[in-house]
Structure formats: C-alpha cells, structure tokens
Amino acid sequence: MTLKTLYLLLLLCAYVLTIPTLSLATAAYPTVPGTDAADCSLSDGHISLTPTRREVYGNGRIFDISHRLRTDMPAFDSSEGVGQFLWLPKSMKNGSIANSSEMKLPAHTGTHVDAPGHVFDHYFDAGFDVDTLDLEVLNGPGLLVDVPRDKNITAEVMKSLNIPKGVRRVLFRTVNTDKRLMFKKEFDSSYTGFMRDGAKWLVENTDVKLVGVDYLSVAAYDDLIPAHLVFLEGRVRKSLMNHAEIILVEGLKLDDIQLGIYSIHCLPLRLKGAEGSPIRCILIK
C-alpha cells in the first residue's frame, strides 16, 4: 500500500466517524450492536468496514417507522415468529459471479398495508389488490396521536382524540409501543386496536383516509373481522363514488417520536393480485 493510498483511507475513516447521524441512537432507535460506528481499523493492508444501520436520518429530521424484517419478529396468531425468509442460493463464495438472494414471507409481515381483498373475497376476485391503492393517500401530511393506554380504540376514544376536520392521515400510537410487542417473537392477542364502533365513528365523522397502527392488526383481536370490514368496505364504496380511500397501514414503529404533524411517506410493493404487502414508511419533520 502506498503512502498516498494509506492517507486517503485514513481520511475516509475520519470522515465516516464524524457523520452526525451515526450518533442519533436512542432507546427507541438503538444502534445495532457492533455498528455504532464504522470500524475503520487497518490490518494487513486492508480496511475493515462495518455498516451502520440507522433509524433516524437527516440530522434527526427523517424517521424510519417501518420495522426491520427479522426471523424472530411476530407473526399473526403464531408463537414461532416469522422464521427464515431469506436464502442465498447464488453465492460468490460458492463460485457465482454475484450474490443473489431469494425470499419468501407472508404479505402481512412486519410493517405492511392491507388491501380490500384481505377480508372481502368478491373484492379480491375483482382485483382490489395493493397495486390499486392510491399513492396520494399513502403520501402527504398527517398526524401522530397517542391513544389512552387502558382501552381499545372505541367510538368514545375516537371522540376524545378530537382529530380536526381536514386531517387525512393519522397514526395511532398505543400501549403496543410501550410494551414493544413488535419486538417480541410470540404473538400477543391482548394488543390494542380498533373496535367496530371506533372504526365506524372514524369512517363517518372524520376525513381520515390513512389509518396507521403499531401492531400487526388495525382491529382489536376481539373485533378482528368486524372492524376490518368497516374500514375496507368503506374504502371501496367511497372510491367507486369519488376516489376517496381508507388505507390501513399496520405494524408501524412509533417509539419515542414526538406527537404532531409530519409528512408521511409509505410505499408498498406493486404486487398484482396481492391483498397485502410489506411497506416502507418514513416520517419527515
């Protein structure tokens, strides 16, 4: 290694270690162990690099509110978690010209979006899949609110939140976040979600078109299908009349984010025929 090359590598290490976003770990957005800073030690003439995984970007202005897909993240109604979903059938270590992974996982894994065909079979047959969801609804200004910690989201709770008219996107943070349920392998049926009357109140009394929640289902376990039906049936009926939609985003990561207004951006995969899709969501101050 020439002195010039060594000098350039040392400059690179110095720059990486001073990037502001590397120090933005919090209790809610912990730096992955071993990746709190790039390891730029030089050994045997080679540079050793360790990637940094971040949850906060842009000097604290951009928050990733989608959960990292993990084998031990919860799966609905299962105690086994998601399990292995990623394989590397083509590996450079085994002679392939490039690494090429394959994955297989349920469409409603982790942070994900529901389409009407999830609970309406005739809508599924008619093609109301995730590829028909309105990106205008999935992207734009919205509100993060805290839900009372001792109850599900009923009509009474919805009234108490006083969501202003004109607000089209609301993320509901509940006790699910406090309990860190999305970080536990075993599914917890006691999670907080919407009851049917709460969903009905939202549909009939607000302008909300995007509903985001912090566990695997927008609906409480005891009202699982009825609440889904209210949301998703209303979405299709309204969209046929005036292109209004209610879209459900589930499994959001809302730890330690201040309440208030953000620019919400959620992008599902364009899966034709699928009633759900993993989704990447961010908040921008």
Q: Average of pLDDT values for 261-271?
A: 97
The percentage of residues in the chain with a pLDDT greater than 90, rounded to a whole number, is 76
Q: Which residue has the higher pLDDT, 10 or 111?
A: 111
The residue among 68, 105, 62 whose CA lies nearest residue 87 is: 105
Tell which phi-psi region holds residue 60, choosing left (phi > 0), alpha (psi between -120 and 50) or beta.
left
Mean pLDDT value across the chain: 85
Distance in angstroms between the alpha carbons of the first and the last residue of the chain: 45
- Between strands 169-173 and 276-284, the pairing is unpaired
Helix runs in the chain, H state only: 3-16, 121-126, 135-138, 155-161, 175-178, 196-205, 224-242
Q: Would you state the pLDDT for residue 45?
A: 58
Could you read off the pLDDT of 71-105 as tens digits, one per residue?
999 999 999 999 999 999 999 999 999 999 999 99
- Mean local confidence (pLDDT), 169-184: 98
Q: Check pLDDT > 70 for residue 239.
A: no
Backbone angles phi, psi at 113, to 5 degrees: -120, 145
Can you count the helices (H) and strands (E) in the chain?
A: 7, 13
The structure's pTM equals: 0.82
Token pair belonging to 229: 């039906």
List, for residues 7-62, the tens digit of each pLDDT value: 333 333 433 333 333 333 344 434 333 334 444 444 555 677 889 999 999 999 99
In the chain, % helix, strand, coil (3-state, to 5) comes to 30, 25, 50
Domain boundaries, the chain: 3-56, 112-284
Mean of pLDDT values over 199-207: 96
How large is the average pLDDT for residues 228-257?
A: 77
- Position 218 scores a pLDDT of 98
| Architecture label for domain 112-284 | 3-Layer(bba) Sandwich (3.50)
| pLDDT above 70 coverage of the chain, percent | 80
The average pLDDT across 264-282 equals: 97
The residue whose two tokens read 């976003």 is: 21
Q: pLDDT-derived band of residue 234, with 50, 70 and 90 as boundaries?
A: low
11-15-55 Cα angle (round to 5): 150
- Structure confidence at residue 233 (pLDDT): 84
Q: Mean pLDDT throughout 236-265? A: 81
Residue-level pLDDT at 13: 41
